[in-house]
Structure 1
Amino acid sequence: MPEETSAASSSGSVEEKPCSSSSSSAAAADCSVDVADEAKKLIGTGNRHLVMGDVVAAVGVFQDACGMLAAKYGDTAEECGEAFFLCGKSLLELARMENSVLGNALEGVPEESEEEEQPNGSNIESANNLDDDDEDDDEDGEKNGQDKEEDEVGNLQLAWEMLEVAKVIYKRKEGKDDQLMAAQTYLKLGEVSAESGNYPQALEDFQECLALQLRYLPPHSRLLAETHYHVATTLCYMDQYSPAIQHYGSSVTVIEARLAVLQDAVGVAEEKNETEELKQLLPDIREKIEDAKESQRTSGAASQAIQQTLPATPSARRRDDLVSAPIFDTSAACASSPPPSNTFLLL
């Protein structure tokens, strides 16, 4: 551009141009490296914030990395996958924290008395003015409530959007690592839907995650145990106790397989810690199984009592069959001999 060139020559210095306007392919390559390196540093900083429990700071840093990479490469470029996934994951944690704080703040708050004493005296406002004030107060209260609700939904919605982009990025690549990252993205999407109370969508996402993991992971991976647990818990929320019990059982089977692998491995501190963690998980999951069985018995008794008062229709029988039908058959995958140990450690 002539104007910029003359301005630069008259001042005696060359003006530095942004990456996007570089006329040299070599300069563009250098700029790409700078953006990638800077984003990598930001991601490292965000991960440290997560380890330290500073979720708010982590969200801010990951958002900076996402903005930087998206501006350079485009929203759905493969360079953006990790940053978008981590940002969505952190936003989910932030939404959970806010919901927890809100729940704690509401505990023990006394209900306001419906009847309040009216002041006596000559300075009492007219009935119309009082009505106007009440309406203003109501509007302010509704507005504040809506603002709080929008903030909560906003973080979950933003987490969902970030994770959706990450899912698109990883799903279109066929490598094992990318497919497993797609599985983790489905897992977090399921958690977002569960946090929002949308259990059918959560179940669908968890099932997608499990399908990918069963394809690429060994049967003793803790990731499998975690996903089976999420599927089971979601099914319980949907009153589908029979498949829930199956998935809780599959989670136990995976953990037992993992313990067997760890027992055969050379004893190191990390493996000993993992063994203890897994042993502590088993009683909790088995308790979940018993709870689901009890809920199934209670639900079955109530359903039977209702059905005795109604004619049994074919549609009702089909509906009962659908509820009790297992969704996954993972017995073969879990019973096969476990391959060498892997490094996936969640739950």
Structure 2
Amino acid sequence: MSNSNLTFQGPSSFILMGIPGLEAAHIWISIPFSIFCIIGLLGNFTLLFVVSKEQTLHKPMYVLICTLAITDIGMSISVMPKVLCIFWFNLKDITMDGCLTQMFFLHTVTVMHSGTLVTMAFDRYVAICEPLRYTTILTNALIFKLVLVGLIRAVLFVLPLPLLLTRLPFCANRIIPNTFCDHIAVAKLSCGDITINSMYALVIVSLVIGLDLMLISLSYGLILRAVLRMFSKKTHPKALNTCTAHICVMLTSYTPFLFSTLTHRFGHDIAPHVHIILANIYFLIPPMLNPVIYGVKTKELREKVGKYSCQILLPVATNWKHA
């Protein structure tokens, strides 16, 4: 049989298997997945609505919270619609273009999400270590520039991923044992050498995520040092409390991502369905928890959310009572 019958440069479509080994439970698994997804979308859209409506919230910190909410929404809509189509309707086919597009947007919002967390850490550093200069250093204009730089960085780092895949020859096997088009999962279907793909993916994780974590750790290390140097111990809890929400968000964001990445690369003895579930948790839990964390820990935002909730729910309750 000729080689041309075995390989082809660009497959017309791939098949996403969902969670291998748990196909019979896809419907049941879809219940928590869909609930988490809906809660996350409602929470993040609520944050965007409240901040956009309230002039008093048009501050650098809330601009960053909105940016984080947008990346959370981007992660959810990049993955969850296709995942639920697999679980509910067994629609496993995805075109090559659709797969590369999903991959690009998914990894782009992931890198931008990480960059936003770095900017948030810088925001808290200036607020605590340079409080008198906060309003002059961190203006809305500077925050928008930093967000734009984060977006450009994400696009420049992620764009080579789908481009590197288009140069590979693919075998007749086009089954992806996953719920979404992950770069390495697609590359492993190739009959060619994927060394460059693997190395570049490792470079992104090391340079982007690794560097971001270093900058975040440095920022909070400087914050902790500044707090401990404060003369009044009564100010310690108040100063640290301003960072609590951000620290919680960073823990919920990086912990599942790093755990999923490390188990994918080094946990060869872990069952495949565990890898897939861990990967999906990263796209479900942070987008769901982030608006809850900010809603609970940020007093000004909590009050505004309560205000609009009362304005919406009170007429509905009144109409229901008179019905």
TM-score when normalising by structure 1:
0.27
> Which structure carries more strand by proportion?
2
Structure with higher Rg: it is: 1
Asked which structure has the greater RCO (Cα within 8 Å, sep 6+), the reply is: 2
TM-score when normalising by structure 2:
0.29
